[in-house]
Structure 1
Amino acid sequence: MIPREVFRKIRRIQIRTSHKVDELLAGNWHSAFKGRGIEFEEVRPYQVGDDVRTIDWNVTARSDQPYVKLFREERELAVSLLVDLSASQDLGTTTQTKRELVAELGAILAMSAIKNNDKVGLTLFTDDVEKNIPARKGSRHVLRLIRELLCCEPVGVGTNLRRVLEHLNRTAKRRTVVFLISDFQDSDYESALKAARRRHDIIPVIIADPREAEMPNVGLVRLHDAETGQVVTLDTGSRKNRQLYAKLYAEQVVTRDSLFRRLRLDPIHLQTGCDLVDPLRKYFHQRENRQ
């Protein structure tokens, strides 16, 4: 039985995101994501004009006459949401935290998949895989995913992208559209991401807060790293300190973005306090045009 307050949270996010699904994604979901491609359906006798590359040589050898393979396009998608619930997702210096933004995004993507008769699954992770929900269809399944996005209390606090990608590579048996949703405050995940990229359609979704890129001038502050527990006192009134803070963040961004370029991955950039509509519309439109 879902507690009443949790149910109210689920209903609020369901109502808030449903019109965005109808407006943005449902109409061009399958034009942006083409599915697995084609799968074998049957064989039939060879006819003049058939492509000789489709000849089934095993059947031909057994029957003493040429047969060709017939294929059909598989439209149904498998969609997987890999969602970072590390402690850094609790940051929010605008109207919402990064985790609240992630929950809204996850609801939109899950509802879009279900409305297009696709399966959708969810993997929540920190420095380990916290919960894995296999891909299924149906509105009740989506409500369960939204509940987990809103209410899951992770055990870990850090971020380990390599571990969740290795879990994906072990468990996903078919080609999957993977939304990797994180602030990407991690390193040493390139090999796992490269392996996942070979098998799946990987879409990095970068979640950020404005204060991560720029430190305001507010005097002496105590900063607590939610993932490592380290506490430092920083004089934000120092221009040198603010510039160093911005430089370290910029270096992290350059490293991350250069990795995505090498692997030919096109990320979606989302920021707390900003509407999801424009970046999602732009991204799906660009994918549709590239198909």
Structure 2
Amino acid sequence: METSELLKKVRKIEIKTKGLSRHLFAGEYHSAFKGRGMSFSEVRDYQYGDDVRNIDWNVTARTGDPHVKIFEEERELTVMLLIDISPSSFFGTVNQLKSEMITEICAVLAFSAINNNDKVGVAFFSDHVERFIPPKKGKQHILRIIRELINFEPSGKGTDIGATLEYFNNLVKKRSICFIISDFLSMGYEQPLRVAARRHDVIGVNLIDPREEELPNVGLLRAQDAESGALQWIDTSSRQVREAYANWHQEHLGYFSSTFRKSGAAAMNIRTNESYVDALHQFFQQRR
């Protein structure tokens, strides 16, 4: 993409999403996430009424007197965006491509974070982690993320959420708010998700195109798998074919919902023919 065209796209997304994050989501983001994390502050003598679960047994054994650990709310949080840039994200049949909506959602979340003085980091993934951008603050950092989202060309052809979560678990040790933004058309990520959810505040954002839920009856259709590149003819006039297609999507949707629920992580579905603003607004409201 030409530099001038890229800058125009970045500027357009900045104007739209920065306004949303400042006027619509600023207070809701703060209410949803601020104060959820606790960081170690100091050790002091045990006092009557202190929670015995906070006793520091090492210091107590060393001094001979009971001591407790004191924690305080984290004033600065880290937001991690794990962003699916696999070929299936470049699909869309209604208002916009999934990749375009992903870019806007990430921009809204990132601007909301820096408005609250939080750091934002990113991992772009396909069937492997394509690029990692360490957490930082500032507008220029967010604009770099947006530029990468618009212009990055993945080398991988598939999607591996499990491998991405393992990478994240090994790299990010400090508690963070982790948004996984994908179409979740892969499975097999139960274990790394459970590990991530024990340590971090994990939210899955599932992007769905209406044509992925229901195959239209348009006769014989030649289709190409976005990730494998395989071509095949599909008889969409067959009710059996349409039902099998719908069942396949429901299986993945059910796996996504149940896996996140069992792990203790949050999950939300956003359809490309609906407003992601309304979906995010409802999500933030539920967490207040």
TM-score of the two chains, using structure 1 as the length reference: 0.90
Paired residues of 2:207 and 2:269 also in contact (CA < 8 A)? yes
Change in 2 beyond 3 A, CA 1:114/1:241: same
**Contact between 1:88 and 1:226, CA under 8 Å: does it hold in 2?**
yes
Unaligned 5+ segments in structure 2 are none
Quote the Cα distance in structure 2 between the aligned partners of 1:42 and 1:219: 69
Partner of residue 51, structure 1: 50
- Matched to 1:155, the amino acid is S
Aligned-residue offset at 1:238: 2.2
Deviations 1:243-268 (A, max 9, x none): 22212222222232222222233312
Structure-1 residue corresponding to 2:278: 278
**2:162 alignment counterpart:** 162
| Contact 2:197–2:264 (Cα < 8 Å) also in 1 | no
Corresponding residue number in structure 2 for 1:191: 191
Q: What residue is the counterpart of 2:110 in the other structure?
A: 110
Instruction: Verify: 1:131 aligned to 2:131, yes or no.
Output: yes
Deviation readout 1:26-80 (Å, 9 max, x if unpaired): 112222113463333334566x646273565665676677665443221211110
Is contact 2:214–2:242 with CA below 8 Å preserved after alignment?
Answer: yes
- CA deviations on 1:162-209 (whole Å, 9 max, x unpaired) are 110010011002011100011111121111111111111110000110
SS of the aligned residue for 1:227 comes to coil
Query: Following the alignment from structure 1 to structure 2, what is the Cα–Cα distance between the partners of residues 55 and 264?
Result: 27
Q: Partners in 2 of 1:213 and 1:84 — Cα distance?
A: 19
Structure 1: 5+ residue stretches without partners: none
| CA distance in structure 2 between the aligned counterparts of 1:287 and 1:181, rounded to whole angstroms | 18
On the 8 A contact 1:44/1:69 being kept in 2, the answer is yes
Q: Cα offset for 1:23? A: 3.2
Structure 1 residues 176 and 35: CA distance shift in structure 2, 3 A: farther
Q: Is the alpha carbon distance of 1:195 and 1:58 closer, same or farther for their aligned partners in structure 2, counting shifts above 3 Å?
A: closer
Q: Which residue of 1 aligns with 2:209?
A: 209
Please name the residue that 2:89 is paired with. 89
Kindly indicate whether the alpha-carbon contact (under 8 Å) linking 1:106 and 1:149 is maintained by their aligned counterparts in 2: no
Q: Secondary structure at the match of 2:148?
A: helix
1:177: which partner in 2? Answer: 177
Change (3 A) 1:65 1:175: closer
Change (3 A) 1:198 1:239: same
1:40 is paired with a residue whose SS is: strand
Q: Tell me which amino acid in the other structure corresponds to 1:205.
A: V
What letter corresponds to residue 207 of structure 1 in structure 2? Answer: L
Aligned residues of 2:176 and 2:200 also touching (Cα < 8 A): yes
Structure 1 segment 11-26 matched on structure 2, within 5 A:
11-26=11-26
Matches within 5 A, 1:248-263: 248-263=248-263
- C-alpha separation between the residues in 1 aligned to 2:193 and 2:55? 36
208-217 or 249-258: bigger deviation: 249-258
Closer/same/farther in 2, CA of residues 208 and 61 from structure 1, 3 Å limit: closer
The answer (yes or no) to whether the contact 1:35–1:77 under 8 Å persists in 2 is no
Moved over 6 A (4+): 60-66
Task: Give the secondary structure class of the aligned counterpart of 1:268.
Answer: strand
Partner of 2:247: 247
CA distance in 2, matches of 1:149, 1:115: 20
* CA 1:59–1:189: 2 relative to 1, 3 Å: closer
SS at match of 1:221: strand
Call closer, same or farther: CA 1:244–1:79 in 2, change over 3 Å. same
Distance (Å, rounded) in 1 between the aligned partners of 2:48 and 2:239: 74
DSSP 3-state at the match of 2:24 = helix
Q: Is the 8 A contact 2:21 2:108 kept in 1?
A: yes
CA offsets 1:108-145 (integer angstroms, 9 cap, x no match) = 00000000000010100000110000111011111111
Q: TM-score, normalised by structure 2?
A: 0.91
CA gap 1:253/1:69 in 2 versus in 1, 3 angstroms: closer
